[in-house]
Amino acid sequence: MPSDKQLWVSFVTVVVTIGAFVKLGLYRAVIRYISEHALLAIFMGVVFSSVALIVLGFLFQTLVPRSVPVIYGAFAFMLVAGTRFGVRTIVRRRNDRSKDGVLIVGAGPKGMQLASALAQGVEYRPLGFVSMLNANHKSMIGNLPVYAIDHIEKAVRDLDVSRVLLAVEDDEPVNRKELMRILEGLSVPVQTVPSMSELVAGVARINDIRDLEIEDLLGRDPVRPDTAIVADSLYQKSVMVTGAGGSIGSELCRQILRHKPSTLVLFEQSEFSLYSIERELHSINEVEGLGVSLHPVLGSVAHRRRGEAVMRAFGIQTVYHAAAYKHVPLVEHNVIEGVQNNVFGTWHTAEAAIAAGVERFVLISTDKAVRPTNVMGASKRLAELVLQGLAQRQSKTVFSMVRFGNVLGSSGSVVPLFRDQIRDGGPVTVTHQDIIRYFMTIPEASQLVLQAGSMGRGGEVFVLDMGEPVKIADLARKMIHLMGLEEKTDDNPAGDIEVVYTGLRPGEKLYEELLIGDDPQGTAHPRIMMAREVSMPWDEVAQLLERLSSASHTFDCGKVVELLRSAPTGYAPNGEVVDLVWCNGEALSAPAVAVDGKVHRLNP
């Protein structure tokens, strides 16, 4: 029978142990979410309790055999830790039954973080990993199996996976095209997690699951800029971006901001777009402590005096001109506004830059400016000719142009359209089964613009080597398969989503080009070329602009089309004028149509 002293030793030891566990926060931990870090707290508490037992035995002069603290500590650790982790396992197992099982592609730090985050969440439970290295096949990470990429179909089948999540490291050398081909053959949806830059910036969490990024769909590695040259051209400079609220303009602003210019002026005519991008950039500026002076300015590029006043007020050194109407069918239906914004907006902004002493002016152009079949492309090619003429007329401001392909993820992009159509049950609408486009991501396009802005010497047209073009129909099918669905065809009537061909839209062509000539010149960047394009002397450009302005003010769409064709733009319309106001008889002059490249007046 224990003595009174032994009872006191036991009682005080229990009190001291409870106090230690309280101090270590063990009792504040929610058992369902208790982590392995709790083991350290339990261990420290048990050690403290065992030491307290020895000390109290000495103080109360009670015999405590040497083996007792050791045995006591072992039993205490097993009971305290075992009960908690046992309950956690039971609770999690019960909750896991309602979660979707996922397979994580990527066995690096990002994959580990994702698995940990998903295990704590309520939507998904990780069932295994897929490694890019065959040597990792059949190994274990935690209690989850690892499969080689060649065995991913077996993993999906054996583990009964409901979806696959991409968590490949940003700097891991991966053949994206081959990876997409393998993933496309799976019968489950494929999604991805945010990039490391988004995680570091705090704009996303590791468990923010979303559909595949556009660069993943492209199946190629993005073009990397020479950051040293770009940083040198932007650091502590005063920069202005026109069209700052648009898809390209806003991404330009994000990337410019992180190069720490002294001043960044956001020039935009849409109040809401300007408010949105200013608020986002202000948050990034504050969180990352960049110290950039941000100025949101409302205005139109068509107003020369407004542009000049803004440039003078902020001492602008570099202008990135991203403001433009870029949607082909909309510009076809609104010819005059397209020309006013794309041609005259560029001219007025460029003249304002010259008057304000701006050092560099970079125009964001498009591959549709090459042998255009639509007003949008012709207007952008004419904008290039305007800047080339200004580059010859003076040397104070360095003008350069950047030409790239379709920017996926921008407003009007086919990817979000296809995604919405697939979620709505189809059909997915493609204009033509053979239509082909070059693709870029918004970050790639913005990086190219910044790179060209630092490389320009005056009047150059820069283009990106974007690899092989992609068929829109193949992209649609790839998205259907990667969302875990099957295409509905005559051979597979039980499929989920049908691809329907709607015919080419006004001004649209099957193939886009990046170069007019066939003799591009290399630059310091291996993926950026410099086009050798035909230009016009400024006197001829000025005369053309005067005639175009006169036709625009009288709303003579036929004359505008004729002038665009007469200029060395290569414009060859593939249909009639479809301006909505012009064709509905509300123009000030008689309506006309363009047939076989000639404008014909119509009888009222």
Show which residues are catalytic: 368
Beta strands 528-531 and 521-522, pairing class: antiparallel
**Position 375: which residue type?**
V
Both tokens of 370, joined, read 């090459």
Closest CA to 103 of 187, 195, 33: 187
**Position 551: which residue type?**
A
CB 548 within 8 A of CB 563: yes
CA dihedral (207, 213, 217, 218) positive or negative: negative
Supply the angle between the helices 176-184 and 472-482 in degrees, to the nearest 10: 60
CB-based burial, 383-392: b 16+ in 10 Å, e otherwise:
bbbbbbbbbb
Can you state the percent helix, strand and coil of the chain, rounding each to 5? Answer: 45, 15, 35
CB count, 10 Å around CB of 282?
A: 14
Q: Which residues fall within 8 angstroms of residue 534, CB to CB, at 6 or more apart?
A: 516, 568
Q: What gap in Å lies between CA 265 and CA 279, rounded to an integer?
A: 13
Q: What gap in Å lies between CA 384 and CA 391, rounded to an integer?
A: 10
Question: SS3 for 233?
Answer: helix
Q: What gap in Å lies between CA 577 and CA 595, rounded to an integer?
A: 9
